[in-house]
Amino acid sequence: MEVTLLSYTPEPEKTVAAAARLCYSPLSGGELLENFDDEQVQIFLARLSSQGHYSPFEHASFTFAIDGVSRALSHQLVRHRIASFSQKSQRYVAEDSFAYVTPPAIAANKEHKRAFEHLMREIMRQYTAFLADGIAAEDARYILPNAVATNLVLTMNARSLLNFFRLRCCLRAQAEIRQLAQLMLAEVKLVAPALFTKAGPSCEAEGICYEGNMNCGQKQAVVRSRQENPAEKG
């Protein structure tokens, strides 16, 4: 899996803070960035986060190139509604020698891993045979597994990313998408740390777990750790 931050809103923190400044002042649009230094930007962002006022965060967007993830993961991604996706097409790109993602639980067992790899080779063989017999890739793809690796481009605004990180950095999230979320979070923190000071699972960011009876059982330990080591927050 590889994640690259392709592009993002120029000066994302200042853009968000300027939008918030408009909400609380009589300034016109052309005046929003006047006499607006970095210290004021940080004050505005801290206020927004403390008040849970995240609508201005929607004015900053981030675009990622994501390579080598499974189709199973991409099916989870599209559940995040406020986002834009472009994905490698199985209609126009042949998968006769497809790469695939092996789940850790299968990879950890030699017998299961061997069976899994055998099945991938059989599917690849049959897929290739279909193509050789003139079956179009758009029809042959019906036998391809969720494990097939894919590449995509994903764009989300900062508010949607905060929601994504809250859900997908959680230990209850499936391992592959949790890894993706962690890599994406590391990328945006490099360019807009103040926007993502509270990014991560809700138990870390808010001291609250929304998983109910499905929780991982580690909320108290996580919250206690964050209280004892406040410098680690964000």
71 shares a domain with 28:
yes
97 domain residue, yes or no: no
Q: How many domains does the chain have?
A: 3
| Per-residue tokens: 210 | 């929304």
Beta-carbon count within 10 A of 119 CB: 13
190 shares a domain with 78:
yes
Q: How many whole angstroms separate alpha carbon 206 and alpha carbon 222? A: 11
Question: Residue 51: pLDDT band by 50, 70, 90 thresholds?
Answer: confident
89 domain residue, yes or no: no
Kindly list the distances between the CA atom of residue 222 and the CA atoms of 102, 184, 196, 202, 227, in Å, as whole numbers in the listed order: 29, 21, 19, 10, 9
Q: How many whole angstroms separate alpha carbon 85 and alpha carbon 196? A: 22
Q: How many helices (H) and strands (E) would you count in the chain?
A: 10, 4
177 shares a domain with 75:
yes
What does the pLDDT look like over 175-209, one tens digit per residue? 999 999 999 999 999 999 999 998 999 888 777 78
Q: How many whole angstroms separate alpha carbon 38 and alpha carbon 60? A: 17
160 shares a domain with 80:
yes
Share of the chain above pLDDT 70, in %: 91
Q: Summarize the confidence of residues 137-143 as an average pLDDT.
A: 97
162 shares a domain with 68:
yes
CA gyration radius, the chain = 22
Q: Summarize the confidence of residues 29-40 as an average pLDDT.
A: 78
Share of the chain above pLDDT 90, in %: 69
| Per-residue tokens: 97 | 């020698």
- pLDDT at residue 108 greater than cutoff 90: yes
Is the pLDDT higher at 172 or at 146? 146
pLDDT value, residue 215: 76
pLDDT value, residue 231: 47
95 domain residue, yes or no: no
195 shares a domain with 128:
no
Question: Residue 141: pLDDT band by 50, 70, 90 thresholds?
Answer: very high
Q: How many whole angstroms separate alpha carbon 178 and alpha carbon 166? A: 10
- Per mean pLDDT, which range of 82-96, 133-147, 197-211 is the poorest? 197-211
23 domain residue, yes or no: yes
75 shares a domain with 14:
yes
Considering 164-173, 208-217, 221-230, the range whose residues carry the highest mean pLDDT is: 164-173
For 197, phi and psi rounded to 5 degrees? -65, -30
pLDDT value, residue 234: 39
Identify the domain containing residue 163 by its residue range.
2-84+150-200
| Beta partners for residue 64, in sequence order | 5, 154
- pLDDT at residue 223 greater than cutoff 80: no
The active-site residue, picked from 21, 141, 166, 168, is 168
Mean confidence (pLDDT) of the chain: 89
User: What's CA 75's distance to the chain center, in Å?
Assistant: 13
Classify 153 as helix, strand or coil.
strand
Q: Let me know if 168 is a catalytic residue.
A: yes
- pLDDT at residue 23 greater than cutoff 50: yes
80 shares a domain with 156:
yes
Strands of the sheet containing 61-70, edge to edge, are: 2-8, 61-70, 149-157, 84-87
